[in-house]
Structure 1
Amino acid sequence: MSANSCPLEERMLELTMLTVPDCPNEPVLRERLTQALADQPAVTVNLRVIEGEADAARYGMHGSPTLLINGVDPFAAPGTPSSVSCRLYRDESGPTGGAPSVAALRAALQQTVEHPVPSEPATAVGRAGLGRLAPVEGGLRAVHQRVLRAFAETGKAPSKDELDEAAAPFETSSQQVLAQLHAADFLRLDTFGAISAAYPFSPTPTPHLVQITDGPQVFSMCAIDALGIAAMLGKDVTISSAEPGTGNPITVTVPADTSASRVLWNPATTVVFYGRQSTCGTCPPEASADATVPSIAADICCDYINFFTDQDNALAWAQTHPGVTGQVLSQQEAWGIGVHIFGPLLRPHF
């Protein structure tokens, strides 16, 4: 890997290292990145030296050194300010020094290769295209995964004690972590601080009831969320939903093995309408005031991503809702988006 760039023929990954001049941890990151890339496809690695705070803000540097994978810093907590200061990377076992561990780098690279930034239809439900895998730093992923596992195992949110236990190794409180997860739309909190959405799970009834094999019944926030639960948990699930407007029953059985050919749709003509409000006029004024992403899925799209018995019924429903924009997704498209967004969420963190 050269000091400036290493352009190769295939560009599945593009890596950019951002450092201040003479950063002592730049060689550490370079060495660990070389190890992490040993079995990866051809990539482009660029080195950009950041001279001041203005450049740090422009290029997305959150301390030196920063690694961008396809333009995204996978190790930065939501809302982390730009900075030219020395950066300390931490994992669940404590400080790792001035660069991510080799294991953490490999996990971040694998995540990008297997789950690239989604196409336009997935942007709203997938945090404006940023994905729903919370960063490891600051206990965000540990607390987020504890929330998801609680819903998967019990059908309800975890207790404060459980969340505090997840946050403790990171020397922070669960309340602080939840506030960050809320601001970045990894989950939603109500005005009392209780979890009101934990994508893909809803703590309150929705039209989408999901039976987890050897687990509880849970509600999902929308049709896409329901379709992603099997891949996230590694368990078969059965989705029972109802067509908006007609109430016609729809059942989808999704296997854990992420094979589109084995998903069973009843009726066989079922589609998903992927909609969103063209404006958020029905949302409370404060709904997104503290958000670090452009839009909040629970506010603008969750109510409008639904199963329909066929394309004609989906289009007919859309015509009667002029305030909703969207498109009809095929079965494979809808399932693929669900797997893409939610499949990685319970991946072990390092």
Structure 2
Amino acid sequence: MEIVVLTVPDCPNAPLLEEHLAGAMADVGLDVPVVRRTVSSAEEAQRWGMRGSPTLLVDGVDPFAVAGMPVSVSCRVQKVPSVAALRQVLRRKSATVWSDTLGRAGAGRRAPVDGGLRALQQRILRSFAETGRAPSRSQLPERALTELHEADFLRLDEHGEIHAAYPFSATPTPHEIHIDGGPRVYAMCAIDALGIAAMLGRDIRTDSRDPVTGRPVTVHASGDGTDATWHPAGAVVFAGQQASCCAAAAADACCGSVNFFADARGAQAWADAHPDVEGKILGQQEAFDLGVAIFGPLLDQ
């Protein structure tokens, strides 16, 4: 992860940003160098993307920029982000899982704009969110649909119909999703389930079961993607993949091995009983952050 702080000379708010950033990094356990650049001209501000001083860039992106905010060498209009706000950004950016297959080896699950792929992906996701079902293949452009399948943005079954459009499954799975004001749907895996609320901007409830004990696991996630309440309180996620399927689509390689567990002890027992699966136990915050990071942006333009 690259963290850059952009300031004008003698910026009065820079020390406060530095203090808050240091606190947030310590809370997250993030140990990476912070690059500091002093910007003195409009040309430099344009080159580095400074929208007022101080500006924080995380992997080249200003996480606190708002629409229409101009590049500027003046003082930033916004207040310095709080430690809590910075902590949330850093957690999302640093969210990791044993299997990169969930997020297409770091490439993300948001389809490219070219060829109408993103528009088609979003149309399919909205169909699930509004009706609980995928649209019929006869209603969709075949070439773009095939490209989405080949790039693992979705999966087609043997009849060419949509089997999965991550994070949604067209058939029942152990992860039942209740969308506030919407239909019941199913998620492909536990991490997919945790990203749906942020993707839709709507509260959701996930009902699942511990695959070892059968105990119910319920997660209520807020539509703003900032909060989730878990029951039981000690519930976790095991995120894994089949060791022999590292190059396969996520539906085949890992979705069956990414589940909710009532507690870490049960998750470890499941892992011990499945030596063919490589993975790790994720705490609630890490699992939630990962789901939001992967699936939260999918309906953004």
TM-score normalised by structure 2 residue count: 0.70
Contact 1:125/1:301 (<8 A) preserved: yes
Match of 2:240 in 1: 275
Output the CA distance in 2 between the equivalents of 1:11 and 1:144.
Answer: 37
Matches within 5 A, 1:146-295: 146-160=123-137, 162-163=139-140, 174-260=141-227, 263-280=228-245, 294-295=247-248
Post-superposition CA distance 1:88-137 (Å, at most 9, x none): xxxxxxxxxxxxxxx9xx9xxxxxx9975853535121111111111111
Equivalent residue in structure 2 for 1:315, among 251, 254, 268: 268
3-state SS of paired residue (2:142): helix
| Aligned CA distance change for structure 1 residues 137 and 36 (closer, same or farther; 3 Å) | farther
Contact 2:212/2:266 (<8 A) preserved: no
Match of 2:49 in 1: 37
Output the CA distance in 1 between the equivalents of 2:175 and 2:127.
Answer: 19
Contact 2:97/2:239 (<8 A) preserved: no
Deviation at 1:191, TM superposition (A): 2.1
Post-superposition CA distance 1:313-345 (Å, at most 9, x none): 110111111111111100000000000000000
Output the CA distance in 2 between the equivalents of 1:252 and 1:221.
Answer: 15
Match of 1:92 in 2: none
What one-letter code is carried by the residue in structure 1 that aligns with 2:158?
T
Output the CA distance in 2 between the equivalents of 1:254 and 1:310.
Answer: 19
What one-letter code is carried by the residue in structure 1 that aligns with 2:96?
S
Contact 1:124/1:297 (<8 A) preserved: yes
Matches within 5 A, 1:124-139: 124-139=101-116
What one-letter code is carried by the residue in structure 2 that aligns with 1:347?
D
What one-letter code is carried by the residue in structure 1 that aligns with 2:142?
Q
What one-letter code is carried by the residue in structure 1 that aligns with 2:123?
R
CA-atom RMSD in angstroms: 3.1
TM-score normalised by structure 1 residue count: 0.61
Deviation at 1:298, TM superposition (A): 0.5
Contact 1:228/1:341 (<8 A) preserved: yes
What one-letter code is carried by the residue in structure 2 that aligns with 1:210?
I
Deviation at 1:195, TM superposition (A): 0.7
| Aligned CA distance change for structure 1 residues 214 and 313 (closer, same or farther; 3 Å) | same
Unaligned ranges ≥5, structure 2 = 1-5, 8-33, 37-42, 61-67, 72-88
| Aligned CA distance change for structure 1 residues 251 and 183 (closer, same or farther; 3 Å) | same
What one-letter code is carried by the residue in structure 2 that aligns with 1:191?
E
What one-letter code is carried by the residue in structure 2 that aligns with 1:298?
A
Output the CA distance in 1 between the equivalents of 2:130 and 2:268.
Answer: 37
Match of 2:257 in 1: 304
Identity across the alignment (%): 51
Deviation at 1:222, TM superposition (A): 0.2
Deviation at 1:147, TM superposition (A): 0.5
Aligned pair 1:328/2:285, yes or no?
A: no
Matches within 5 A, 1:40-119: 41=55, 116=93, 119=96
Match of 1:339 in 2: 292
Unaligned ranges ≥5, structure 1 = 1-7, 13-30, 44-68, 71-102, 107-112, 164-173, 281-287, 289-293
Post-superposition CA distance 1:56-76 (Å, at most 9, x none): xxxxxxxxxxxxx97xxxxxx
3-state SS of paired residue (2:101): coil
Deviation at 1:190, TM superposition (A): 1.4
